[in-house]
Structure 1
Protein backbone atom coordinates (compact mmCIF):
# COMPACT_ATOMS: atom_id res chain seq x y z
CA UNK A 1 0.00 0.00 0.00
CA UNK A 2 1.16 3.49 -0.74
CA UNK A 3 1.65 6.00 2.05
CA UNK A 4 -1.26 7.96 0.57
CA UNK A 5 -3.60 4.96 0.84
CA UNK A 6 -2.42 4.21 4.36
CA UNK A 7 -3.13 7.82 5.33
CA UNK A 8 -6.57 7.60 3.69
CA UNK A 9 -7.32 4.41 5.62
CA UNK A 10 -6.10 5.93 8.87
CA UNK A 11 -8.30 9.02 8.38
CA UNK A 12 -11.33 6.90 7.51
CA UNK A 13 -10.77 4.72 10.58
CA UNK A 14 -10.49 7.75 12.87
CA UNK A 15 -13.75 9.10 11.44
CA UNK A 16 -15.40 5.66 11.74
CA UNK A 17 -14.39 5.47 15.41
CA UNK A 18 -15.68 8.96 16.15
CA UNK A 19 -19.03 8.70 14.39
CA UNK A 20 -22.32 8.08 16.15
CA UNK A 21 -24.02 4.74 15.57
CA UNK A 22 -26.01 5.96 12.61
CA UNK A 23 -26.09 3.39 9.78
CA UNK A 24 -25.42 5.64 6.79
CA UNK A 25 -22.50 7.44 8.38
CA UNK A 26 -20.98 4.28 9.77
CA UNK A 27 -21.31 2.49 6.44
CA UNK A 28 -19.73 5.38 4.54
CA UNK A 29 -16.69 5.54 6.82
CA UNK A 30 -16.39 1.76 6.97
CA UNK A 31 -16.46 1.54 3.19
CA UNK A 32 -13.92 4.38 2.92
CA UNK A 33 -11.54 2.47 5.19
CA UNK A 34 -11.83 -0.77 3.26
CA UNK A 35 -11.67 0.95 -0.11
CA UNK A 36 -8.44 2.70 0.89
CA UNK A 37 -7.03 -0.67 1.93
CA UNK A 38 -7.97 -2.27 -1.39
CA UNK A 39 -7.64 0.48 -3.98
CA UNK A 40 -4.00 -0.23 -4.81
CA UNK A 41 -4.59 -3.95 -5.35
CA UNK A 42 -7.92 -4.11 -7.17
CA UNK A 43 -8.72 -2.57 -10.50
CA UNK A 44 -11.50 -0.14 -11.38
CA UNK A 45 -13.89 -2.90 -12.46
CA UNK A 46 -13.50 -4.75 -9.14
CA UNK A 47 -13.83 -1.47 -7.28
CA UNK A 48 -17.14 -0.78 -9.03
CA UNK A 49 -18.43 -4.26 -8.19
CA UNK A 50 -17.40 -3.79 -4.56
CA UNK A 51 -19.25 -0.47 -4.35
CA UNK A 52 -22.38 -2.10 -5.82
CA UNK A 53 -22.19 -4.92 -3.27
CA UNK A 54 -21.74 -2.45 -0.43
CA UNK A 55 -24.71 -0.42 -1.61
CA UNK A 56 -26.86 -3.56 -1.83
CA UNK A 57 -25.83 -4.76 1.61
CA UNK A 58 -26.23 -1.41 3.38
CA UNK A 59 -29.99 -1.97 3.69
CA UNK A 60 -29.24 -4.85 6.08
CA UNK A 61 -27.10 -2.60 8.23
CA UNK A 62 -30.07 -0.24 8.56
CA UNK A 63 -32.34 -3.14 9.53
CA UNK A 64 -29.92 -4.75 11.96
CA UNK A 65 -28.23 -1.75 13.56
CA UNK A 66 -30.14 -2.06 16.84
CA UNK A 67 -28.84 -5.62 17.30
CA UNK A 68 -25.35 -5.22 15.83
CA UNK A 69 -22.28 -4.52 17.95
CA UNK A 70 -24.31 -2.63 20.54
CA UNK A 71 -22.11 -3.53 23.51
CA UNK A 72 -19.08 -1.26 24.04
CA UNK A 73 -16.69 -4.23 24.17
CA UNK A 74 -18.09 -5.55 20.89
CA UNK A 75 -17.72 -2.15 19.26
CA UNK A 76 -14.15 -1.90 20.55
CA UNK A 77 -13.39 -5.37 19.24
CA UNK A 78 -14.62 -4.37 15.78
CA UNK A 79 -12.45 -1.23 15.91
CA UNK A 80 -9.45 -3.31 17.04
CA UNK A 81 -9.89 -5.58 13.99
CA UNK A 82 -9.62 -2.53 11.74
CA UNK A 83 -6.63 -1.14 13.65
CA UNK A 84 -4.88 -4.50 13.27
CA UNK A 85 -5.47 -4.48 9.52
CA UNK A 86 -4.01 -1.00 9.26
CA UNK A 87 -1.00 -1.88 11.44
CA UNK A 88 -0.26 -5.02 9.43
CA UNK A 89 -0.58 -3.14 6.13
CA UNK A 90 1.74 -0.41 7.39
CA UNK A 91 4.27 -3.05 8.51
CA UNK A 92 4.05 -4.86 5.17
CA UNK A 93 3.14 -8.16 6.85
CA UNK A 94 1.30 -9.57 3.85
CA UNK A 95 0.45 -13.07 5.10
CA UNK A 96 -0.68 -11.85 8.52
CA UNK A 97 -2.69 -9.10 6.82
CA UNK A 98 -4.42 -11.63 4.57
CA UNK A 99 -5.24 -13.91 7.50
CA UNK A 100 -6.55 -10.99 9.57
CA UNK A 101 -8.64 -9.77 6.64
CA UNK A 102 -10.29 -13.18 6.32
CA UNK A 103 -10.84 -13.32 10.09
CA UNK A 104 -12.40 -9.85 9.97
CA UNK A 105 -14.76 -10.89 7.18
CA UNK A 106 -15.68 -14.04 9.13
CA UNK A 107 -16.36 -12.14 12.35
CA UNK A 108 -18.45 -9.58 10.45
CA UNK A 109 -20.50 -12.36 8.87
CA UNK A 110 -21.01 -13.97 12.28
CA UNK A 111 -22.09 -10.65 13.85
CA UNK A 112 -24.56 -9.99 11.04
CA UNK A 113 -26.02 -13.50 11.26
CA UNK A 114 -26.38 -13.17 15.04
CA UNK A 115 -28.11 -9.79 14.67
CA UNK A 116 -30.41 -11.26 12.03
CA UNK A 117 -31.28 -14.18 14.34
CA UNK A 118 -32.12 -11.75 17.17
CA UNK A 119 -34.36 -9.79 14.82
CA UNK A 120 -36.06 -12.92 13.48
CA UNK A 121 -36.74 -14.17 17.01
CA UNK A 122 -38.16 -10.80 18.03
CA UNK A 123 -40.53 -10.47 15.06
CA UNK A 124 -43.97 -11.97 15.61
CA UNK A 125 -44.85 -14.87 13.34
CA UNK A 126 -46.92 -13.85 10.31
CA UNK A 127 -50.60 -14.71 10.58
Structure 2
Protein backbone atom coordinates (compact mmCIF):
# COMPACT_ATOMS: atom_id res chain seq x y z
CA UNK A 1 0.00 0.00 0.00
CA UNK A 2 1.40 3.38 -0.95
CA UNK A 3 1.69 6.25 1.52
CA UNK A 4 -0.86 9.04 1.39
CA UNK A 5 -0.39 12.59 2.58
CA UNK A 6 -3.24 14.29 4.39
CA UNK A 7 -3.43 18.08 4.44
CA UNK A 8 -2.85 20.38 7.36
CA UNK A 9 -6.53 21.30 7.28
CA UNK A 10 -6.27 24.57 9.18
CA UNK A 11 -3.42 25.82 6.98
CA UNK A 12 -5.33 24.78 3.85
CA UNK A 13 -8.47 26.67 4.88
CA UNK A 14 -6.52 29.76 6.00
CA UNK A 15 -4.69 29.87 2.66
CA UNK A 16 -7.94 29.42 0.72
CA UNK A 17 -9.79 32.16 2.60
CA UNK A 18 -6.77 34.50 2.51
CA UNK A 19 -6.76 34.27 -1.29
CA UNK A 20 -10.43 35.29 -1.46
CA UNK A 21 -10.87 37.85 1.34
CA UNK A 22 -9.52 41.37 1.83
CA UNK A 23 -8.92 41.00 5.59
CA UNK A 24 -6.30 39.03 7.55
CA UNK A 25 -7.14 35.35 8.16
CA UNK A 26 -5.43 33.63 11.12
CA UNK A 27 -5.90 30.95 13.75
CA UNK A 28 -5.50 33.35 16.69
CA UNK A 29 -6.84 36.76 17.55
CA UNK A 30 -4.01 39.20 16.72
CA UNK A 31 -2.37 40.96 19.69
CA UNK A 32 -3.09 44.26 17.98
CA UNK A 33 -6.58 43.81 16.62
CA UNK A 34 -7.20 45.07 13.11
CA UNK A 35 -10.55 46.69 12.35
CA UNK A 36 -11.61 43.44 10.66
CA UNK A 37 -10.24 39.90 10.49
CA UNK A 38 -11.23 36.23 10.24
CA UNK A 39 -10.28 33.52 12.70
CA UNK A 40 -10.18 29.79 11.83
CA UNK A 41 -10.37 27.14 14.56
CA UNK A 42 -10.34 23.35 14.32
CA UNK A 43 -13.51 21.91 15.83
CA UNK A 44 -13.15 18.13 15.46
CA UNK A 45 -14.93 16.19 12.74
CA UNK A 46 -15.45 12.54 11.87
CA UNK A 47 -11.82 11.87 10.91
CA UNK A 48 -11.34 9.21 8.24
CA UNK A 49 -14.52 8.34 6.35
CA UNK A 50 -15.27 6.19 3.33
CA UNK A 51 -11.86 4.57 3.65
CA UNK A 52 -9.75 7.52 2.57
CA UNK A 53 -11.44 10.91 2.98
CA UNK A 54 -10.68 13.10 6.00
CA UNK A 55 -13.71 14.86 7.51
CA UNK A 56 -12.56 17.95 9.44
CA UNK A 57 -14.80 20.39 11.33
CA UNK A 58 -13.96 24.07 11.67
CA UNK A 59 -15.39 27.12 13.38
CA UNK A 60 -14.89 30.40 11.54
CA UNK A 61 -15.28 33.79 13.18
CA UNK A 62 -15.73 37.00 11.19
CA UNK A 63 -14.73 39.98 13.35
CA UNK A 64 -15.35 43.63 12.49
CA UNK A 65 -15.98 47.02 14.07
CA UNK A 66 -19.15 47.12 11.94
CA UNK A 67 -21.87 44.53 12.57
CA UNK A 68 -23.19 44.47 9.00
CA UNK A 69 -19.68 43.95 7.62
CA UNK A 70 -18.95 41.09 10.03
CA UNK A 71 -22.20 39.36 9.10
CA UNK A 72 -21.78 39.91 5.35
CA UNK A 73 -18.23 38.52 5.44
CA UNK A 74 -19.44 35.40 7.28
CA UNK A 75 -22.08 34.90 4.59
CA UNK A 76 -19.43 35.39 1.88
CA UNK A 77 -17.28 32.71 3.51
CA UNK A 78 -20.28 30.33 3.40
CA UNK A 79 -20.50 30.92 -0.34
CA UNK A 80 -16.77 30.40 -0.82
CA UNK A 81 -16.96 27.06 1.01
CA UNK A 82 -19.81 25.81 -1.17
CA UNK A 83 -17.84 26.35 -4.38
CA UNK A 84 -14.44 25.11 -3.17
CA UNK A 85 -13.11 22.13 -5.09
CA UNK A 86 -9.56 22.26 -3.73
CA UNK A 87 -7.75 23.77 -0.73
CA UNK A 88 -4.01 23.79 -0.23
CA UNK A 89 -3.60 21.52 -3.24
CA UNK A 90 -5.94 18.88 -1.79
CA UNK A 91 -9.25 17.95 -3.43
CA UNK A 92 -12.39 18.86 -1.47
CA UNK A 93 -15.14 16.22 -1.55
CA UNK A 94 -17.91 17.94 0.31
CA UNK A 95 -18.99 20.58 2.74
CA UNK A 96 -21.56 20.40 5.55
CA UNK A 97 -22.61 23.13 7.94
CA UNK A 98 -24.49 23.03 11.24
CA UNK A 99 -26.28 26.34 10.86
CA UNK A 100 -25.92 29.89 9.62
CA UNK A 101 -23.57 32.47 11.12
CA UNK A 102 -24.70 33.85 14.46
CA UNK A 103 -23.63 36.88 16.48
CA UNK A 104 -21.47 35.84 19.42
CA UNK A 105 -20.88 38.75 21.79
CA UNK A 106 -17.34 39.45 22.99
CA UNK A 107 -15.83 41.72 25.64
CA UNK A 108 -13.66 43.41 23.00
CA UNK A 109 -16.72 45.29 21.68
CA UNK A 110 -15.97 44.10 18.15
CA UNK A 111 -18.77 42.28 16.33
CA UNK A 112 -18.19 38.55 15.83
CA UNK A 113 -20.24 36.30 13.57
CA UNK A 114 -19.41 32.62 13.85
CA UNK A 115 -20.48 29.30 12.36
CA UNK A 116 -19.27 25.69 12.31
CA UNK A 117 -18.97 23.39 9.31
CA UNK A 118 -17.04 20.36 8.07
CA UNK A 119 -15.00 19.81 4.92
CA UNK A 120 -14.02 16.44 3.47
CA UNK A 121 -10.51 16.42 2.06
CA UNK A 122 -8.97 13.73 -0.10
CA UNK A 123 -5.31 13.02 0.57
CA UNK A 124 -2.74 12.95 -2.23
TM-score tier, shorter chain, comes to: under 0.3
User: Which structure has the larger Rg?
Assistant: 1
Q: TM-score, normalization: structure 2?
A: 0.26
Larger helix proportion, structure 1 or 2?
Answer: 1
The two structures have a TM-score, normalised by structure 1, of: 0.26
Higher-strand-fraction structure:
2
